[in-house]
Amino acid sequence: MTEKELPSYLDQAPEVKDRFDRLKQRPVTMEVKGLNKQFGEVIALKDINLKIHKREFVCVIGPSGCGKSTLIRILAGLEQASSGQVLLNGEAVTEPGPERGMVFQGYTLFPWLTVKKNIMFGLIESGYDKGTAESEAREWINLIGLTKFENSYPHQLSGGMKQRVAIARALANRPKVLLMDEPFGALDAQTRAKMQAYLLEIWKNIDITVFFITHDLDEAVYLADRILVLKANPGEVQEIVEVPVPQPRSPDQFMNPEFLATKQHIEELIHPPSEQEEDDDHLNLVRMVHVNDDVGSVF
């Protein structure tokens, strides 16, 4: 299908429109109001406003330097905003808390603890007795399909397995919001696709709201209800895109007209044609061989 034949990303099938109408009627779980973040003279985030509804899946995407990771760290309570507010169920977020689970790109499991004990760790810290924590951990291990590996250590697991454990550990305390900072960025393509499917399956089966940072356009369109598109220098909201691809999602939809139209629009927001023409980041290469050299002759 050519670009001219693609529908508008704004076009929504009746069932998609109905889903968004129902989603907007849900309570607001997390709200960002007039958020600004400055590092010295550098404005990292400027006037960010966003409402995230209960059980919504929101992805954030944008060019390098747009403040994606800074934003999610503020939502997690790991950074303080220079001004503005982050509210969780109407209460101000000022520090980390069990109502927000966090999954990072790097593998953050404790290497000296087994899969089961990694998941138990947060539960015990939250006041669960050992028996209850172990029972809860086993439920999560079963959910992520790693029952045979509950007594394995992180170094004995693949990258995808480690991230499944990290997700289970983050969810074990039953947070209201799962914050994910490019959690699949270090995985190979095949494992990444499997992890996306795992995450969607988990999201469909438990009461969780997801805020997911990514740099991958396909991943954003595939996973999200809505996509927050940021621009850089300073990091500002460029657009909040409602993804018109019907739920439930599957890899078969990657070539659907709605998927392609949404992906193309976001690509144009992040890398507008005029910007690509004026890009100053090109390499200034000097030919390293004589023009009549056998190697040079192929150019």
pLDDT at 75 over 80: yes
- 133-139 long-range contacts (CB < 8 A, ≥24 apart) are 136/172, 137/168, 137/172
Q: Closest Cα partner for 254 from 220, 204, 215?
A: 220
In whole angstroms, give the CA distance from residue 227 to residue 61.
7
Residue-wise pLDDT for 200-248, tens only, equals 999 998 999 999 999 999 999 999 999 999 999 999 999 999 999 999 9
Alpha carbon distance 183, 35 (integer Å): 24
What is the strand order of the sheet 57-61 is part of?
100-103, 177-181, 209-213, 57-61, 226-231, 236-242
pLDDT digits (tens, 9 = 90+) for 80-131: 999 999 999 999 999 999 999 999 887 789 999 999 999 999 899 989 999 9
State which amino acid sits at residue 216: D
14-99+175-270 in CATH: which number?
Answer: 3.40.50.300
pLDDT at 1 > cutoff 60 = no
Tokens of 39: 């590092």
What residue segments make up the domains of the chain, in order of their start?
14-99+175-270
Q: In the beta sheet, which residues pair with residue 53?
A: 28
- Amino acid identity of residue 131, one-letter, is G
pLDDT attached to residue 144 = 87
> What global pTM score does this model have?
0.89
Note the pLDDT of residue 256. Answer: 95
Mean pLDDT of all residues belonging to the chain: 91
Per-residue pLDDT of 7-36, as tens digits, reads: 999 999 999 999 999 999 999 999 999 999
pLDDT band at 56 (very low <50, low <70, confident <90, very high): very high
